[in-house]
Structure 1
C-alpha cells in the first residue's frame, strides 16, 4: 500500500522495545504479536464497513474517513505490542468513533456549526460491532448520486468502500495523483453541500440510481478480477466485496433483472479464479485453464440466476454477459465451447449496449468461428489505441496469421499500456516466444 496524506502507512516497519517482567529488554529480538500484514488484512476487510457505519453515525464523509484512518494508524502502533483484540472490527469502530467525537468537541467549542451538528447527530447512536448489512449499501448509493459524474462515483466508491489509496485510484484512471485527489475532495464537498442523505433511496428513486450503482459494483469487481496495477493479478478482497454488494442489491431489488444478471456474471467469473494464475504466479488465459479447478458451486448458482433472467424476457447488458459466461462454464474444454452462440449473444449485446469494447470482445468470438483474419478485420476498425487489451488481442490474431513482426509490435504496445506486473510478464513472455 502506498501511503499518501491522511492514509495510514501499513508498510512501514515498526520496531518498539519488548518489555520482559516489567523492564525493557534491549538485547532480546523483537517479535511483534501482530504483523503489519495482519493489520493490512484487517484494513482491507474492515475499512469500507467502518467508513460506512461512521458516515451514518456522524453524517459527514470526511469525519468518517479521517477517523477510520486514525484508528488504523493507532492499530499499527498498538497491536504489535498488545496483540490482536478479540474483535478487530469492533476495536477499529470504537476507536474511530472516539477519535471523531474528540475532534468534533474541539471544533464545536470554536462555534463550528458543522461540528456541532455532527456531534449532535452522533449522540446516543452506538457503534455496532456485528455486521450491519446495509451500511455499505447506503454509502454506495450516496457515492452514486446522479449529481456526481460516473467516473467520480466510481473513484469515490473505490476510495471509501474498497479502501484503495488515492495513488492506486489515480493509476486505475490513468490520471496524476493530485488530479484524482482534487476530484475526491470536490465529490465529498458536493455531497456535503447538496445534503445528499446516507440512506438507500426510496423505491421511487431507485430506477434513476440503479444503473450507476450496478456499474460501480461491477467496476469494483473488475478492479479485483484484473487489478489495474500492482504485482498481483487478482484482488480477492474487492471481488468478495463486490459479490456481497451484488447479493444485497438482489435482496433490495428482487424484480430488477439486471441486478440478477450482474450477480450471475460476477459469480461465473469468480468461479474461474483458482485456475487463472499458476503456482509460479504466471497468468493462464481462459483456453489453457484447468477447468477441473473451477468452482462448480459458484457455476451452479450463476447458471441458475441466468435461467431466472431468461424467464424475465427483458435482456440487458449484464444478463447477456452472464449468459456468455454461462456458455463458457458449460464447456468441458476450450475446443467444445459453443462460439457460434457466443457470437449471437454479442450481436444482441451490440444492439442493447453497443460500445467499442463490446465490439472488441465480439471480434474474439468471431475469430473462433471464422478464423483470425476475420477477427483482425473487425479489430482494425476500432478506435481503441489506448486500451492494452486491444493491442494484446491484435497481437494474438497476428501471431495466429504468422505475421510475427507486426505481432511483436502489438505486444510491445499492450505491454506499455498496462501497469499490472502479472499482465506485463505474460505479454513480455508472449512477445519473446514468437
Structure 2
C-alpha cells in the first residue's frame, strides 16, 4: 500500500513544520480532506492562539481554526507519528543580502531527530537551487542516522500562497512538485493532488523545482523595478505614471505592472537567493541585482519626495506632523515582515521626523518588536501636516479625500501635503481637493 493510500485510510499522518502564512493554510486544507494532520511550530504563543480558535495570520479565519481537526502542537516528538512531513518555515536574508538558512536548518534538525523509516519529507521554503540536496539532506541524515533514498525520501514543492489574496488560494494555484526519484515524485504528486483542485505540475528534479520559485518572483521583481524607474523619470517630466500605465494597458500584450514598494518575504527576498548561488558559480547578475537596487531605494525616495513637498508647502519638515497610513508589506494582510514602509520611516527619521503610524491589520507587538514603532488608531489621527498613504488596505481605500482632509490641522488646503503612494485617488480629484499632492 502506498503512503498516499495510508494517509487516505488514516493508517498514517501528515505533519506541517512551520505554521505561518504558508504552513497553517496547508495544514487546514489537508484536514478538510479528512487527512490526519499534525501542525507543529516552535512558537508556543502561536500554538496557543490556534488552540484557542484564533487565526493570527487572518488567512483562513477564526471560525475555520475553531473547527479544524489539525492537532496543533509545540512538542516536536509528536512528529514521530507522521510519515509525510512538509517543511514550511521562512527563509529570510541577512543584512548583507545573503540567504539566512537558520530557520530551515533548525527545522531540518527537528525533523531529522524525529524521522522514522519510510517517511517522505517535502520542503516548501524558498531556497536557492541545490539547497535541499546540499544542505537539508545531510542534516536529516546526520540527525536521524538514516540514508536518503533508502530509509526515507525527499522532495521539494515551492509555496505559491499569496498572503491576503482571497482569489488565488492554495486550492486553485497549480503546485510544482518534485522528488528525489520517480517513486517519491509519484507519492508527493498524489498527496498534494488531495488538496490542489487545479492539479500539480511535476518537474524532473528538485533543483528545477527550487529554480521555478526563485525565478518567478525574480521576474516580478524586475518588472516592478522597471515601473519604479519609469515613475522616478516621469516625476521629473511632470507626467503621471498611472495614467501612462492605464494607457499602456489598453494594448493586448501589456503586463499590467505598476510602481510600488516591494517588500515581504517573497519578491523582496527570493532574487537574492538566486543571485547568491549564481555568484558562487562565478556569474554576477546584470539585471536581477540592479532591479533589487531600484526597488530597495523606493521607500527612501517616497520619504525624500514627501519632505520636498512639505518644504514647497511652506512647512518646516522637522516640526511637521507626518502620518503614515499602513505598515504591513501589502494590503489586507497582517504580515509586517520586510515591510518597505520601514524604509520610509527611517528616511524620515534622518530629517528629525518621527511619523505617526496607523495600521489596524498589523500586530502592535510585531510593530514594536520589528520596527520599534507604536501604532495609532485611525480615529485618533488629527492635526497632520502630511499624510502618506503607503498601503492600500480596504479601510484606507474607502476613505474619501474629505476624510483625508479631516486628518489635517486647520489651515489653507495648499499647505496640506498628501502623498498617495498607491495611486488610490484620481488626479482630477486630487486637484479639486486643493491639497498639495504627489503620487507614485
When you count helix as a share of all residues, which structure comes out higher? 1
Could you state the TM-score of these two structures normalised by the residue count of structure 2?
Answer: 0.28
Could you state the TM-score of these two structures normalised by the residue count of structure 1?
Answer: 0.28
